[in-house]
């Protein structure tokens, strides 16, 4: 019984009562009680959704052939294939880079107990995992990957670790733009890079500015 | 418990506890995923007779050893005792052998299985390193 009890044991001075709810050992103020019990269930949920998303991204990296073929015309040259393949590789590499940022923030404890960040992260990773599953099994065109990427990257660009997320955005912008120049990508791809790497960080900075100076909120 | 006039420092390794906790959640997901993949493989791929049964039995044995390993590791770390933690480190050897079996030596290995087992092996490596450090810390404190 103790074996099963410890298998489902909750951490950090909490324990599971008869109904399976996580409760603290000692008495707490109601506000601390609410945040603690909510947070201790969010941590494993966030980790598992993050891992599921990571597994799917690595799987797509490994078997990206069918997705690249889906966005080429029926008669294609080797150069066209290479160009599309490189584009998808860059998208997946940027995703993996952002994963490193998010994992660093999560495992170091910087955002492990921030419930709003956790909820945002869980929502983004669940939606990303589901859409990437369809991307993989239904062999969606590789351009669609950028849309999934933009919508589901909010959790990382929205400050997990504010200076680091700006750094990540600018690094990925540099990588993408160097590919843009040297591989002579089409002009419309620039709009995607612009949208993600320039607009989103700037928009979050403007929001933070207004919140701190206009609405007198505490800087996070 | 701290006696009056002398405060004992907390020697439990927090990173190790975090890793064991996350491993304790990751492993059930891995187990369920492996069961589903064995159902998928059993239906689709031409297994030689009794090989699928062998793989499933190994998976269930793996479950048992892993539960013991995580339990002993967590209890040993939190109560700052060397024996349970040492047992946990010893058990991580057969666990990593099992993980390598499912990664490389199985009859049919899926790409997803490679990734899932690789993540598990990464967990084992980090827990082994942190466990050895924690073991040294506890053993040194026990001497005095």
* pLDDT confidence of residue B9: 82
Q: Determine, for residues B67 and A7 on separate chains, whether the beta-carbon distance falls below 8 Å.
A: yes
Residues of B whose CB is below 8 A from A11:
17, 21
pLDDT of A14 higher than 90 = no
Question: In this predicted model, what pLDDT tens digit does every residue of A34-60 receive, in sequence order?
Answer: 555 555 788 898 899 889 988 988 988
According to the model, what pLDDT value does residue A142 have? 74
Mean pLDDT of chain B: 91
Token pair belonging to A6: 């410890």
Q: What is the pLDDT of residue B97?
A: 95
Give the Cβ contact number of residue A10 at 10 Å.
19
Q: Does residue B23 or residue A4 have the better pLDDT?
A: B23
pLDDT of residue A134: 80
pLDDT band for position A3 (cuts 50, 70, 90): very low
Q: Looking at residue A143, what is its pLDDT?
A: 73
Residue B138 CA, chain-centre distance (Å), reads 21
Cβ of B109 under 8 Å from any chain A Cβ? no
Q: Which residues of B touch A109 (CB under 8 A)?
A: 18
pLDDT of residue B95: 96
Q: List the single residue in A with minimal CA-CA distance to B14.
A: A12
Residue of chain A minimizing CA distance to B33: A52
Q: Has residue A180 got a pLDDT over 70?
A: no
Mean pLDDT across the stretch A60-76?
Answer: 81
Per-residue pLDDT at B64: 96
ipTM over 0.95: no
Span A114-167, pLDDT tens digits = 777 777 778 778 877 887 888 788 777 777 777 777 777 755 555 455 545 555
CA pair distance B59, B65, nearest whole angstrom: 10
Q: For residue range B111-123, list pLDDT tens digits in order.
A: 999 999 999 999 9
Instruction: Work out the pLDDT band at B144, boundaries 50, 70, 90.
Output: low
pLDDT of residue B88: 96
Residue B137's pLDDT band (cuts 50, 70, 90):
very high
- Per-residue pLDDT at A4: 40
Task: Check whether B28 has a pLDDT greater than 90.
Answer: yes
Residues in B touching A16 (Cβ below 8 Å): none
**Is 90 exceeded by the pLDDT of residue A113?**
no
Average pLDDT over residues A97-115: 77
Contact at CB, A11 and B17, closer than 8 angstroms? yes
Note whether A48 contacts B: Cβ–Cβ < 8 A. Answer: yes
Q: What is the pLDDT of residue B59?
A: 95
The verdict on pTM exceeding 0.80 is no
Q: What pLDDT shows up at residue A168?
A: 55
> For the CA atoms of A27, A33, A39, A44, what is the dihedral angle to 10 degrees?
40
């Amino acid at each position: 019984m103790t074996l099963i009890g410890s298998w489902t044991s909750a951490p950090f001075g909490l324990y599971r009562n008869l109904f399976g709810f996580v409760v603290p050992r000692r008495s707490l103020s109601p506000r601390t009680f609410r945040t603690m019990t909510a947070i201790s269930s969010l941590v494993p949920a966030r980790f598992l959704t993050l891992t599921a998303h990571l597994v799917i991204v690595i799987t797509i990296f490994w078997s990206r052939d069918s997705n690249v073929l889906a966005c080429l015309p029926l008669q294609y040259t080797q150069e066209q294939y290479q160009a599309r393949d490189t584009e998808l590789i860059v998208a997946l590499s940027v995703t993996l880079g952002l994963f490193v940022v998010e994992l660093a923030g999560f495992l170091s404890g910087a955002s492990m107990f921030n419930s709003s960040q956790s909820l945002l992260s869980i929502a983004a990773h669940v939606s990303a995992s589901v859409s990437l599953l369809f991307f993989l099994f239904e062999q969606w065109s590789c351009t669609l990957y950028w849309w999934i990427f933009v919508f589901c990257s909010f959790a990382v660009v929205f400050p997990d670790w504010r200076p680091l997320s700006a750094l990540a955005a600018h690094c990925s912008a540099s990588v993408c733009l160097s590919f843009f120049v040297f591989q002579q990508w089409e002009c419309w791809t620039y709009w995607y890079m612009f949208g993600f790497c320039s607009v989103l960080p700037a928009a979050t900075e403007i929001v933070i500015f207004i919140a701190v100076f206009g609405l007198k909120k505490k800087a996070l | 418990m701290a006696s009056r006039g002398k405060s004992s420092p907390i020697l439990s390794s927090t990173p190790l506890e975090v890793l064991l906790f996350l491993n304790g959640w990751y492993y059930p997901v891995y187990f369920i995923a492996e069961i589903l993949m064995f159902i998928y493989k059993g239906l689709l791929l031409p297994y030689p007779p009794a090989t699928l049964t062998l793989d499933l039995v190994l998976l269930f044995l793996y479950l048992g050893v892993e539960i013991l390993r995580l339990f002993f590791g967590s209890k040993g770390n939190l109560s700052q005792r060397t024996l349970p933690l040492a047992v946990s480190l010893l058990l991580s050897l057969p666990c990593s052998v099992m993980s390598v079996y499912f990664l490389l030596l199985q009859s049919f290995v899926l790409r997803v299985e490679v990734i899932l087992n690789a993540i598990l092996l990464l967990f084992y490596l980090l827990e082994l390193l942190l466990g050895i450090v924690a073991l040294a810390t506890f053993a040194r404190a026990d001497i005095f």
